Amino acid sequence: MDNKQALTETERHQKYWRANVKILSLLLTIWFVVSFGCSILFVKQLNQFQVAGFKVGFWFAQQGSMIIFVLLIVAYIILMNKLDKKYDVDEK
Amino acid sequence: MLDVQTWTYIIVGLTFTLYIGIAVWSRASSTKEFYVAGGGVSPLCNGLATAADWMSAASFISMAGLISFDGLDGARYLMGWTGGYVLLALLLAPYLRKFGKFTVPDFIGDRYYSNNARVVALFCAIFVSFTYVVGQMGGVGLVFSRFLGVSANTGIMIGMTIVFAYAMFGGMKGITYTQVAQYCVLIFAFMVPAIFISLLMTGNPIPLLGFGSELVDGSGYLLDRLDGLSEDLGFATYTDGSKSTIDMFFITAALMFGTAGLPHVIIRFFTVPSVKDARKSAFYALFFIVILYTAAPAVAAFARTNLITSVSNVAYVDLPDWFKAWENAGLIAWVDKNEDGKVQYLGKGRGGGKAITSSKAVAQIIEGKPARGKHGQILVTPDTINTANINELEVNRDIMVLANPEIAKLPNWIIALVAAGGLAAALSTAAGLLLVISTSISHDLLKRTLMPDISEKKELMFARISIFVAILLAGYSTTLNLGFVGQVVAFAFGLAASSFFPAILLGIFSKRMNREGAVAGMVVGIFFTASYIIYWKFVALPIDNNAANWFLGISPEGIGTVGMLINLAVSLLICRLTPAPPEAVQKIVSEIRIPRGAGEATHQ
């Protein structure tokens, strides 16, 4: 009986970790695209477009990326809190 | 109406009294309080403190100035100094908090079951933190010399005394709550002029919106106007920048990964009660940081526009007072190369370049006073005049934030507030750094390596002595004058990116990573990065220090990214060839990946 429970806990933890890494991969991909992608690698191409007073590439580089960074952390907190509860590893 | 200097004495005096008051209230009586503020700091307070700790003299004083001159390229600092927080929040903070120790060398030493690793880590921590703190004291000296009328060195000594007072008595506890106050001061000091100027120039009080708005004088969008002005004078178009893509990529990456590897930031996450709080705290920290960081590029664009329209082609005698004041401080220089009495401010596209050859204007001194030219301007020594181009104006970037309120003709108390804000930023960061140096010595070197039986009282005493010594050394090193405040700091990042970040990341995400791999990676990473930087900055001739000669076109500021990759590669390679970590250690790694069961930050 104990053995089965122990295995389940380890399995549960492993599943939790894999789900955790998946969330990280998704959020970090967005992080990369917004900062290195839009603001550095493709900034000249994006600068050909202008929205109000901002060239799009420039906006990502000097404003948009940072705002999105904050939102990414918010998303992380929400997703992880849900994940913690789902796998019963949350702090009581 | 009081003058700027009087206002500055008043406002700075008030803020200093506040800091000392908090220090007295939060005296640390145990090592737990000294190292991690007792472990009970709320995520909100921790976020505020982290933001203040983070935003140093570089963020407050230098960054807007650097963006002002670099245009689009300035984004390397904006993204570099914020993007790392995403890495911290997602990859490091929650797991390190669960690990529950006091310091970064603690983690390295325990995770890699090696006192050698601990010692390597603590020397890296001291090296990185020390490099960084020297830059801060430079900022303190700058603000004091301009606003309080004392020499930079006297300013540095005053700054050191204040930090000493609250850091020595309160340790992390004193530092944390002082930093909360300092955040309030610095954000107010930065935003008030930013809001005023945004309102004046675009009619929109919110700087990040004013940034994309039309100018009230009808000349169109701010950024379009600025692009136009830049091009007319032969400078790179503001929104296009001029750095190569590869260098922007590597510098931004070095700053981001370096952020996530800086000991004084990481330890902030040991002070909150739980893993959930560590994540929340990372959010708060970045949120409070981004408030300033979205206003800074707006301020930069306003400042640049104002500078150009105030001085370009204007006769020296007609220049506003702020110009003469900064000229007296040696931070603006005008050389009338074509003898027409007017200031020609030109970029490379119109025959311009650096107006003088020295980094700071060197005035000709006659009978103890600066020599004045035909129009009343301070004359620079003839051998520093760069006759290879026709640009006549040299402006030190560090002054753009400090001079901006004066340029926009804001009231004196606002200008004094900016000085207080700059000091708050520099001192808050300096304190955090000095604490890392101190804990590295008293906790990591003495308690956990050399003298394990040392009593808590003695450990605390050594912690206080080390802060004292570190402050003295930092102050002295600052007087040696090592370059733009912002750039000195950028080196510390390269070193953090190539040493700590990979070691900690692998420690959490790879159970197989062992001590041989980690130590090899750290040593090679930091050695490579430091050598490259030292070579290009101290050994090679300045004229050779350019993209044509760099490795793959990557500057010393960006080499940290390469160092990090080398660290990762070496670590993974060596790890394959050496034994796996003991079961007990692998178990620790499994445990830190699970939030439940996070205890209070422990001492042993």
What is the widest separation between alpha-carbon atoms in chain B?
A: 80
Q: How far apart are CA B331 and CA B400, in angstroms?
A: 10
- Would you say residue A3 has pLDDT above 60? no
Burial B258-274 (b: 16+ CB within 10 A, else e): bbbbbbbbbbbbbbbbb
CATH number at residue B571: 1.20.1730.10
Question: Is B79 within 8 Å of A66 when comparing Cβ atoms?
Answer: yes
pLDDT in tens, B371-424: 888 888 888 888 888 888 888 998 888 778 878 788 777 888 888 888 899 889
In this structure, are B451 and B551 located in the same domain? Answer: yes
Could you tell me where the DSSP H helices lie in B268-362?
Answer: 275-311, 321-328
Q: What is the pLDDT of residues B466-493, one digit of tens each?
A: 888 988 888 888 777 655 555 666 678 8
First to last CA, chain A: 26
Contact B598/A at CB under 8 A:
yes
- DSSP, collapsed to helix, strand or coil, labels residue B495 as helix
Residues B468, B341: Cα–Cα separation, whole Å = 51
**DSSP conformation class of B385:** B
Question: To the nearest whole angstrom, how far is the Cα of A9 from the nearest Cα of chain B?
Answer: 11
β-bridge partners, B214: B221
Cβ–Cβ gap A73/B297 under 8 Å: no
First to last CA, chain B: 58
Q: List the 264-303 stretch of B: residues with Cβ below 8 A of A.
A: 274-276, 279-280, 282-283, 286-287, 290, 293-294, 297
Among A12, A69, A80, most B C-beta atoms within 10 A, so best to mutate, is A69
Q: Cβ–Cβ contacts within 10 Å for residue B320, how many?
A: 13
| Calpha distance B36→B602 (Å, rounded) | 9
pLDDT reported for residue B36: 83
Query: CB neighbours (10 Å) of residue B9?
Result: 16
- Contact list in B for residue A57 (CB cut-off 8 A) is 72, 239
How close is the nearest chain B Cα to the Cα of A55, in Å? 8
d(CA B237, CA B215): 18
HEC sequence for chain A = CHHHHHHHHHHHHHHHHHHHHHHHHHHHHHHHHHHHHHHHHCHHHHCCCEECCEEHHHHHHHHHHHHHHHHHHHHHHHHHHHHHHHCCCCCC
Please report the ipTM that was assigned to this predicted complex: 0.92
What is the C-alpha to C-alpha distance for residues A21 and B510, in angstroms, rounded to an integer?
12
Work out whether the CA dihedral B287, B289, B293, B295 comes out positive or negative: positive
Chain-chain contact of B79 with A55 (C-beta, under 8 angstroms): no
B14 and B67 inside one domain: yes
- B340 shares a domain with B303: no
Q: Are residues B100 and B224 in the same domain?
A: yes
Instruction: Report the Cα B294 to chain-centroid distance in Å.
Output: 16
3-state SS of B396-424? CCCHHHHHHHHHCCCCHHHHHHHHHHHHH
Per-residue pLDDT at B110: 93
Pick from A70, A74, A91: which is nearest to B598 by CB?
A: A91
Which residues does chain B have with pLDDT short of 50? 604
Give a yes or no: residue B603 inside a domain.
no
Contact list, A55 vs chain B (CB under 8 Å)? 223, 239
Q: Which residues contact A21 (CB under 8 A, 6 or more apart)?
A: B509
pLDDT in tens, B520-560: 999 999 899 989 988 887 788 877 778 788 888 888 889 99
Query: Which DSSP state fits B214?
Result: B
Do the chains contact at A65 and B248, CB–CB below 8 Å?
Answer: no
Q: What are the residues facing B370 on neighbouring strands?
A: B365
Which residue did the predictor score with more confidence, A53 or A66?
Answer: A66
Q: B472 and B422: one domain?
A: yes
Count of C-beta atoms within a 10 Å radius of residue B525: 31
Residues of A in contact with B74 (CB under 8 A): 62
Cβ–Cβ under 8 Å, residues B308 and B196: no
B359 and B485 part of one domain? no
* Strand duo B369-370 + B365-366: pairing: antiparallel
Task: Give yes or no for A6 touching B (CB within 8 A).
Answer: no
Interface contact A63-B297, CB threshold 8 A: yes
- Are B453 and B389 found together in one domain? no
Indicate if B516 and B564 belong to the same structural domain.
yes
- Asked if residue B423 lies in contact with residue B14, where contact means CB atoms within 8 angstroms, the answer is no
In the stretch 355-414 of chain B, residues with CB closer than 8 A to chain A read none
Asked whether B150 and B9 are in contact (CB, 8 A), the reply is no
Range of the domain at B565: 4-307+410-592
- Is B323 a member of any domain? no
Q: Hunting for tokens 């002595």 — which residue is that?
A: B465
| Domains held by chain B: number | 2
Nearest CA to A44 among B244, B400, B344? B244
* HSE (side-chain half, CA atoms, 13 Å) at B483: 10
Which residues of A, range 23-82, sit inside 8 Å of B by Cβ? 24, 27-28, 31, 35-36, 39-41, 43-44, 47, 52-55, 57-59, 61-63, 65-67, 69-70, 72-74, 76-77, 80-81
Please name the helix (run of DSSP H) or strand (run of DSSP E) that holds residue B561, with its range, or none.
helix B559-577
Q: Residue B365: in which H helix or E strand, if any?
A: strand B365-366
Q: Which of B91, B283, B294 sits opposite A24 (nearest CB)?
A: B91
With cut-offs at 50, 70 and 90, classify the pLDDT of residue A5: low
CB B406 within 8 A of CB B342: no
Name the band, by pLDDT with cuts 50, 70 and 90, for residue A1: very low
CA distances, B156 to each of A28, B134, B137, B153, B336 (Å)? 41, 10, 6, 5, 34
By residue count, chain A amounts to: 92
Q: Are residues B296 and B427 in the same domain?
A: yes
- Asked if residue B325 is part of any domain, the answer here is no
Residue written as tokens 């901006």? B404
B379, B243: one domain: no
Chain A neighbours among B 219-238 (CB < 8 Å)? 221-224
DSSP state of B602: P
- Whether residue B318 lies inside any domain: the answer is no
Nearest to B276 among A28, A35, A91 (CB): A91
Q: Are residues B278 and B388 in the same domain?
A: no
Would you say the C-alpha torsion B425, B430, B431, B435 has a positive or negative sign? positive
Whether residue B580 is found in the same domain as residue B503: yes
DSSP class of B541: -
Q: Is residue B129 part of a domain?
A: yes
Minimal CA–CA distance to B183: which of B26, B17, B19, B4? B19
Whole-angstrom Cα distance, residue B298 to residue B229? Answer: 16
Question: pLDDT of B501-513, one tens digit each?
Answer: 999 999 999 999 9
